[in-house]
Each structure stands twice: as structure tokens, then as C-alpha cells.
Amino acid sequence: MKNQSSNHLFMIEPEVFYSNEQTADSNHYQKDHDAELTKNDVKMKALEEFHGLKNKIEENGIRVTSMKGIPECPDHLPLRSLVLQTKSVSL
């Protein structure tokens, strides 16, 4: 089988970052915020990780298209569908 990889990624930069109460029970990756961290502290850590990952991906020759998330959306899936070149992807 031939290996496949992408040379162009789409990423959403978090505008907010916190546990989503509506999905927390069924998503074991979500945890309540540490009592010593404010929502802004958590957001700043998330932005640091986001930019670190984005930079590392770009350093390895992969193009990244990014957009900012929206404040009302901790999940950062504001689009219902994307059109990339001639392919359409429904979310």
C-alpha cells in the first residue's frame, strides 16, 4: 500500500478554550479546569500549543490555512461544510 500524506492542512485557532458541558460526559479527553487556572490562563496555554504545533508543521514544509474560532464555540467547528479546491467535505 502506498503511504498518503497531506501537504496542506486546515486548523482553527481557539478564540476560547474550555470544557463543553454538553459533551463532557461522553468525552473522556475533556477535564474540568484546574481550580488554580482561570479560563484565560487555559486559553493562553491552548494558544501557545496551537501556535507551536502550527509553526512545527510549517517548518516541515506543510502549508497551513487557519482561521480564528468564534467566542460562543468551545468545540471550534463553526462551519458545516468546507470546499477545498474541487472537493467538498461535509462536517
Question: How do residues 52-79 score in pLDDT, each as one tens digit?
Answer: 999 999 999 999 999 888 887 776 655 5
| Through-space distance between the first and last CA atoms of the chain, rounded to whole angstroms | 28
- pTM of the full structure: 0.69
Count of other CB atoms within 10 angstroms of residue 5: 5
Question: How do residues 13-45 score in pLDDT, each as one tens digit?
Answer: 988 887 777 777 887 776 665 567 788 888 898
Query: What ranges do the domains of the chain cover?
Result: 1-17+36-71
Q: How confident is the model at residue 87 (pLDDT cuts 50, 70, 90)?
A: low
Q: Are 14 and 71 in contact (CB under 8 A)?
A: no
Instruction: Write down the pLDDT at residue 49.
Output: 92
